[in-house]
Amino acid sequence: MTAANRIATDPSADHWARLRAATPARVGLQRCGNGLATAELLAFQLAHAHARDAVHGAVDFEALAAALQPTHTVLHVQSAAADRPTYLRRPDLGRRLDAASRVRLSARQDTEPYDVAFVICDGLSAAAINDHAVATLQATWARLAGWKIAPVVLAAQARVALGDEVCVLLNARMAVVLIGERPGLTVANSLGIYLTWTPRPGHRDADRNCISNIHADGISYQHAAEKLVWLMSMAQHLQITGVGLKEDAGTQLVMNK
């Protein structure tokens, strides 16, 4: 009998072990009769609870500001969504600033354009921002010598497109939005980055580049920073982002204009 046949006929063999080793997804879950085993069910419920907490949690913007202010000016803004329930029901309001925030940003506009504005949005995972935003920014800024960087904007109840309006008011040529990604049942604190050249309200997602899955088991801060700075440099050179600025599947990066 071959080794494969022995495995196939051995009732105690774990036929899913190789797949489990290659992915954090739930593969070949243990069952008890027609239902999941208790341990598997409890693990699923815990992951669901983490995802709900990430969506409904609050970013500690004061701690973020304290961590960033030694090297960068920080501005606080609020979207037109006044609270979390409104934000979740009305995505459109999360894409616009409220009136007070517009006044605050307009007062900080520079006559000479900034090269880039970094906007930290809570998005759909407060945990992602609390856990990863500062380290990702620090790794990025270490590679941006000579860039004129606008004050860092901390945006509550905000979605990606809010960065477009922020950059118009600050007079910045490029938006880099760090946002908490929609949590799943594997990772609840994944950070995403969206890059937009000449951001303006009304831009489509096709006009942006995205780096996603920044977390402990995903893309590292250093790798994310390297990719982001390369994309920023190419965007500045080619004056384009989105579908016109492409990254190949390998290490080579290809630009189309």
DSSP 206: G
- Domain of residue 215, residue span: 55-255
Closest CA to 191 of 135, 151, 141, 244: 135
Residue 40 lies in a domain: no
- Per-residue pLDDT at 48: 87
pLDDT at 254: 39
Judge whether 21 lies within some domain. Answer: no
| Nearest residue to 184 (alpha-carbon basis) of 218, 223, 154 | 218
Terminal CA-to-CA distance of the chain, rounded, Å?
60
**How many domains does the chain divide into?**
1
Query: What's residue 248's pLDDT?
Result: 57
Identify the pLDDT of residue 28. 77
**Prediction pTM value:** 0.85
In a domain, 32, yes or no: no
Q: Judge whether 137 lies within some domain.
A: yes
Q: Could you tell me the CATH number of the domain that includes residue 202? A: 3.40.50.11240
Q: What is the mean pLDDT of each run of 10 residues along the chain (257 residues)?
A: 50 72 78 82 86 91 95 96 96 97 90 95 96 97 96 97 97 97 91 97 94 94 96 95 75 39
Which pLDDT score, from 0 to 100, does residue 2 have? Answer: 52
176 lies in some domain: yes
Residue 50 within a domain: no
Separation in Å, CA 207 to CA 109, 161, 177, 195 = 24, 11, 13, 9
pLDDT digits (tens, 9 = 90+) for 183-195: 988 899 999 999 9
16 in a structural domain: no
pLDDT of the residue at 22:
78
Measure the CA–CA gap between 213 and 218, rounded to whole angstroms: 5
Please name the residues in contact with 166: beta carbons below 8 A apart, sequence gap of 6 or more. 77, 97, 105, 117, 119, 153, 155, 172, 175, 199
pLDDT, one tens digit per residue, over 196-252 is: 999 999 999 999 999 999 999 899 999 999 999 999 999 999 999 999 898 753 444
Q: Is 27 a member of any domain?
A: no
Q: Rounded to the nearest 5°, which phi and psi values hold at 220? A: -75, 165
